């Protein structure tokens, strides 16, 4: 018996209402586990090359992993994927909360949605049953009233809902899919893909017991976490802590993206500090399924002005949202920044791309490339918190100039012309997250080679390995020659060895699908996977899963026209600042080219083109599965 699965992938065609169940062999789950690797495989197998991302033929895939439904702490996540409306590359994003756990308990391992409904609908999946229900009465609604309405209709407050807001309905290129109202599968524009299918929501409820073969092994991992998380995750567990608490740290060392990555310091960062926000807004802490950490903020703030009133149902901003709506736009008004994040959750927008798009327009306005005549009378000045909030609303509804901003930075830059090239801060068409490559050089490489475009999660943060600690211990536990602490502003052979190993770990976690903030070591998740499935997974096995995920995603992107030339960084974030803590520190073209080539070699891909070789596919056990795919694959010989 292979535990952790039901052996059922649910397929729904919204064009004709067809519902069918695929029963793949257990070996597919053993190779891919779930999440990103499964998404990439299904896209290669079932999506015709060159499909328009907003066409009915595109696939929207919800992909938990083997661990979802097992009650393992950190496994309250799931993956979502398809072909990205923002980039045209693979879309792969993860969300926390309870949806993935509840979906697995409903009796399925993954959900593949194709086609387009004639009118708005939502899916209702519960204990092996599937219904397509009308959603015209929900279309146009924000996420909270939609969730309340669906739960009332279904008569169950424990129903979990993945949904789009008006941004997805209006096909904003960076629209998100929201879960539990305040957990976003945010990047790559998956909300626009869902909206293009006239699919408002997927509601799930499950009471089925997931088969776990050796529960004691899973329990032992959970007990280790329970005994140690306050020590190994102190950043998240101390009173008032969470990801946004890092804003002051990054600001002090010159690594807080300011005015579209153009300035070395944000002088007003103290006005956005975690301490100040907690004192003004913090209502309580929230968490995900089976997680003891409670790292998620819940903000509330009363004000006569509805555009400055914070609704705790929408949670509170994490670091990425604080930095994207704050320093990236030069805004120091913490109420406005928090409200912009709330509206992003209410309307279903990726906070990173939304903030970056507004920052791009502010810089274009400053340079005279846009005027109030172009923007419908709006004056986009750095630091204008009121305009920030208004812009989020305009974008979500594609109202007025919001229609232009809803296309994202790369398309705006293309329309405005070559004068914007220097501040088009995208990779493969996706806006940069809020971490500074000039401080973290291998993170910059990670931005360049990430299959989805610039991404900070399927990545390696150099600063975690700059001093002795748990992260370096995790890496060295399986190395014959331990690595020393490595300076963050370097690209060396040792750094690339670290990058390859840890990037496979990060991608594995997005297949499992587990929270990357947990301080699990490789052996913990290998043991948990072994316990759930009843089969042996070694550390080498789980790292190979991450390598398969990268290789399959690479094949999909190559098939869709991407090449090694797309594995690049925007020149602005490679150039050194003239002043500030990072003054004089640059990433040279030569260093990045060498690092990219070395990464390809370590992956077993062609060193010049980054095309996977047949030998790599054989080594990873992918060759037999790919031979059956009906579409030609780009392979190096």
Q: For 342-387, how does the pLDDT look when each residue is reduced to its tens digit (9 = 90+)?
A: 999 999 999 999 999 999 999 999 999 999 999 999 999 999 999 9
Please tell me the distance from the alpha carbon of residue 460 to that of residue 473, in angstroms, as a whole number: 15
Contact 412, 418 (CB under 8 A): no
Please tell me the distance from the alpha carbon of residue 34 to that of residue 544, in angstroms, as a whole number: 13
* Phi/psi of residue 374, nearest 5 degrees: -75, -30
Separation of CA 46 from chain center: 23
Residue 107 lies in a domain: yes
Q: Is the pLDDT of residue 637 over 60?
A: no
In this prediction, residue 45 has a pLDDT band, given cuts at 50, 70 and 90, of very high
Report the pLDDT averaged over residues 593-602.
Answer: 98
| DSSP string covering 436-476 | -TTT-HHHHHHHHH-TTSS-SSSS--GGGGSSSSHHHHHHH
Q: Is the pLDDT of residue 426 over 90?
A: yes
Please tell me the distance from the alpha carbon of residue 636 to that of residue 485, in angstroms, as a whole number: 36
What percent of the chain stands above pLDDT 70?
99
Q: Is the pLDDT of residue 235 over 80?
A: no
Per-residue confidence (pLDDT) for residue 417, from 0 to 100: 98
Per-residue confidence (pLDDT) for residue 156, from 0 to 100: 98
Report the pLDDT averaged over residues 101-119.
Answer: 98
Please tell me the distance from the alpha carbon of residue 297 to that of residue 139, in angstroms, as a whole number: 28
Report the pLDDT averaged over residues 250-254.
Answer: 97
For tokens 């500074």, name the residue: 436
Q: Is the pLDDT of residue 120 over 60?
A: yes
Please tell me the distance from the alpha carbon of residue 395 to that of residue 242, in angstroms, as a whole number: 28
Which domain CATH number covers 374?
Answer: 1.10.569.10
**Residue 82 sits in the same domain as residue 175:** yes
* Residue 2 neighbours by CB distance under 10 Å: 17
Closest CA to 261 of 569, 593, 564, 595: 569
**Residue 342 sits in the same domain as residue 464:** no
Per-residue confidence (pLDDT) for residue 230, from 0 to 100: 83
**Residue 411 sits in the same domain as residue 450:** no
Per-residue confidence (pLDDT) for residue 1, from 0 to 100: 86
Per-residue confidence (pLDDT) for residue 231, from 0 to 100: 83
Per-residue confidence (pLDDT) for residue 237, from 0 to 100: 67
Q: At what angle do helices 35-46 and 493-512 cross, to 10 degrees?
A: 80
**Residue 40 sits in the same domain as residue 170:** yes
In this prediction, residue 209 has a pLDDT band, given cuts at 50, 70 and 90, of very high
Q: For 277-321, how does the pLDDT look when each residue is reduced to its tens digit (9 = 90+)?
A: 989 998 888 999 999 888 888 999 999 999 999 999 999 999 999
**Residue 59 sits in the same domain as residue 119:** yes
Helix intervals (H) in 458-538: 470-476, 493-512, 522-533
Contacts of 593 (CB under 8 A, 6+ apart): none
Per-residue confidence (pLDDT) for residue 403, from 0 to 100: 98
Q: For 8-43, how does the pLDDT look when each residue is reduced to its tens digit (9 = 90+)?
A: 999 999 999 999 999 999 999 999 999 999 999 999
Per-residue burial over 327-350, b if 16 or more Cβ lie within 10 Å, else e, is bbbbbbbbbbbbbbbbbbbbbbbb
Please tell me the distance from the alpha carbon of residue 167 to that of residue 180, in angstroms, as a whole number: 17
Q: Is the pLDDT of residue 630 over 80?
A: yes
**Residue 358 sits in the same domain as residue 461:** no
Residue 435 lies in a domain: no
Per-residue confidence (pLDDT) for residue 135, from 0 to 100: 98
Q: For 540-593, how does the pLDDT look when each residue is reduced to its tens digit (9 = 90+)?
A: 999 999 999 999 999 999 999 999 999 999 999 999 999 999 999 999 999 999
Residue 246 lies in a domain: yes
Which domain CATH number covers 152?
Answer: 3.60.9.10
Pick the last residue of a domain from 353, 388, 423: 423
**Residue 62 sits in the same domain as residue 128:** yes
Largest CA-CA distance found in the chain, in angstroms, rounded? 67
| DSSP string covering 110-125 | EEEEES--SS-EEEEE
**Residue 511 sits in the same domain as residue 577:** yes
Contacts of 492 (CB under 8 A, 6+ apart): 486
Please give the residue range of the domain that contains residue 175: 9-205
Q: Is the pLDDT of residue 635 over 80?
A: no
Closest CA to 276 of 340, 335, 236, 235: 335
Residue 253 structure tokens:
């060392």
Helix intervals (H) in 155-184: 166-169
Query: Order of strands, edge to edge, in the sheet holding 18-22?
Result: 18-22, 9-13, 110-114, 60-63, 78-83, 90-95
**Residue 57 sits in the same domain as residue 151:** yes
Report the pLDDT averaged over residues 438-444.
Answer: 98
Pick the last residue of a domain from 423, 458, 492: 423
What percent of the chain stands above pLDDT 90?
93
Residue 214 lies in a domain: no
Q: For 479-500, how does the pLDDT look when each residue is reduced to its tens digit (9 = 90+)?
A: 999 999 999 999 999 999 999 9
Pick the last residue of a domain from 423, 449, 467: 423
Angle 516-517-523 from CA coordinates, rounded to 5° = 60
The residue that leads in pLDDT, 208 or 635, is: 208
Closest CA to 187 of 437, 503, 452: 452
The domain total for the chain is 3
Residue 528 lies in a domain: no
**Residue 484 sits in the same domain as residue 619:** yes
Per-residue confidence (pLDDT) for residue 506, from 0 to 100: 98
Q: Is the pLDDT of residue 602 over 80?
A: yes
Residue 278 lies in a domain: yes
Mean residue pLDDT across the chain: 96
Residue 114 lies in a domain: yes
Q: For 123-139, how does the pLDDT look when each residue is reduced to its tens digit (9 = 90+)?
A: 999 999 999 999 999 99
**Residue 491 sits in the same domain as residue 607:** yes
Residue 217 lies in a domain: no
**Residue 313 sits in the same domain as residue 357:** yes
Per-residue confidence (pLDDT) for residue 295, from 0 to 100: 86
Per-residue confidence (pLDDT) for residue 163, from 0 to 100: 98
Peptide bond between residue 265 and the one before it cis (omega within 30 degrees of 0): no
The helix, strand and coil proportions of the chain, stated in percent and rounded to the nearest 5, come to: 45, 15, 45
Which domain CATH number covers 580?
Answer: 1.10.599.10
Query: How is residue 275 annotated by DSSP?
Result: H
Helix intervals (H) in 348-428: 351-366, 385-397, 402-405, 409-416
Per-residue confidence (pLDDT) for residue 239, from 0 to 100: 59
Per-residue confidence (pLDDT) for residue 537, from 0 to 100: 98
CA distances from 70 to 73, 228, 449 (A): 9, 20, 33
Please tell me the distance from the alpha carbon of residue 10 to that of residue 64, in angstroms, as a whole number: 12
In this prediction, residue 234 has a pLDDT band, given cuts at 50, 70 and 90, of confident
């Amino acid at each position: 018996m292979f535990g952790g699965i039901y052996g059922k992938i649910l397929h729904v065609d919204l064009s004709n209402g067809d519902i069918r169940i695929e029963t793949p062999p257990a070996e597919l789950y053993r190779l891919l586990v779930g999440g990103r690797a499964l998404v990439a495989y299904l896209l290669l197998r079932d999506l015709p090359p060159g499909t328009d991302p907003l066409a009915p033929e595109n696939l929207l895939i919800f992909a938990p992993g083997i661990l979802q439904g097992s009650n393992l702490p950190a496994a309250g996540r799931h993956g979502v994927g398809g072909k990205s409306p923002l980039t045209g590359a693979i879309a792969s994003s993860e969300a926390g909360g309870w949806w993935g756990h509840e979906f697995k308990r409903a009796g399925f391992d993954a959900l593949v949605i194709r086609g387009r409904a004639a009118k708005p609908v939502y899916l209702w999946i519960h204990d092996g049953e599937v219904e397509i229900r009308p959603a015209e009465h929900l279309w146009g609604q924000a996420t909270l009233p939609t969730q309340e309405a669906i739960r009332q209709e279904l008569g169950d407050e424990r129903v979990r809902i993945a949904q789009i807001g008006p941004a997805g309905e209006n096909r904003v290129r960076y629209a998100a899919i929201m879960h539990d109202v305040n957990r976003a599968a945010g990047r790559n524009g998956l909300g626009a893909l869902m909206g293009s299918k006239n699919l408002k929501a997927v509601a799930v409820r499950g009471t089925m017991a997931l088969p776990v073969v050796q529960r004691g092994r899973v329990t032992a991992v959970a007990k280790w976490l329970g005994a140690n998380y306050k020590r190994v995750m102190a950043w998240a567990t101390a009173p008032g802590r969470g990801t946004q608490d890092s804003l002051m740290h990054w600001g002090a060392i010159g690594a807080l993206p300011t005015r579209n990555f153009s300035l070395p310091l944000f002088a007003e960062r103290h006005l956005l500090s975690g301490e100040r926000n907690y004192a003004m807004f913090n209502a309580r802490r929230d968490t995900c399924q089976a997680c003891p950490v409670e790292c998620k903020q819940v903000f509330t703030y009363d004000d006569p002005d509805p555009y400055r009133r914070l609704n705790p149902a929408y949670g509170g901003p994490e670091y990425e949202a604080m930095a994207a709506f704050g320093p990236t736009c030069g805004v120091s008004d913490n109420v406005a920044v928090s409200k912009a994040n709330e509206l992003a959750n209410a309307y279903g927008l990726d906070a990173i791309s939304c903030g970056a798009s507004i920052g791009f327009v502010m810089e274009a306005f400053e340079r005279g490339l846009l005027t109030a005549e172009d923007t419908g009378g709006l004056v986009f000045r750095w630091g204008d918190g009121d305009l920030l909030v208004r812009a989020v609303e305009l974008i979500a509804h594609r109202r007025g100039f919001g229609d232009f901003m809803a296309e994202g930075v790369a398309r705006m830059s293309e329309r405005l012309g070559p004068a914007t090239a220097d501040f088009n801060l995208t990779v493969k068409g996706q806006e940069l997250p809020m971490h500074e490559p000039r401080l973290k050089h291998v993170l910059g490489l990670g931005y360049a080679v990430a299959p989805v475009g610039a991404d900070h999660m399927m990545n390696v943060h150099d600063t975690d390995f700059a001093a002795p600690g748990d992260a370096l211990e995790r890496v060295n536990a399986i190395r014959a020659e331990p690595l020393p602490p490595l300076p963050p502003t370097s690209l060396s052979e040792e750094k690339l060895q670290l990058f390859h190993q840890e990037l496979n770990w990060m991608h594995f976690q997005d297949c499992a699908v587990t929270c990357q903030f947990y301080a699990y070591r490789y052996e913990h998740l290998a043991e948990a996977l072994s316990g759930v499935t009843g089969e042996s997974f070694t550390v080498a096995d789980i790292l190979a899963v991450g390598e398969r995920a990268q290789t399959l995603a690479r094949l999909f992107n190559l098939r869709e026209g991407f090449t090694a030339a797309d594995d690049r960084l925007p020149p602005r974030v490679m150039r050194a600042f003239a002043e500030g803590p990072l003054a004089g520190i640059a990433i040279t073209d030569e260093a990045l080219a060498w690092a990219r080539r070395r990464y390809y070699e370590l992956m077993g891909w062609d060193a010049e083109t980054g095309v996977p070789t047949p030998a790599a596919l054989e080594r990873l056990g992918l060759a037999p599965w790919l031979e059956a795919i009906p579409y030609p694959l780009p392979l190096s010989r």
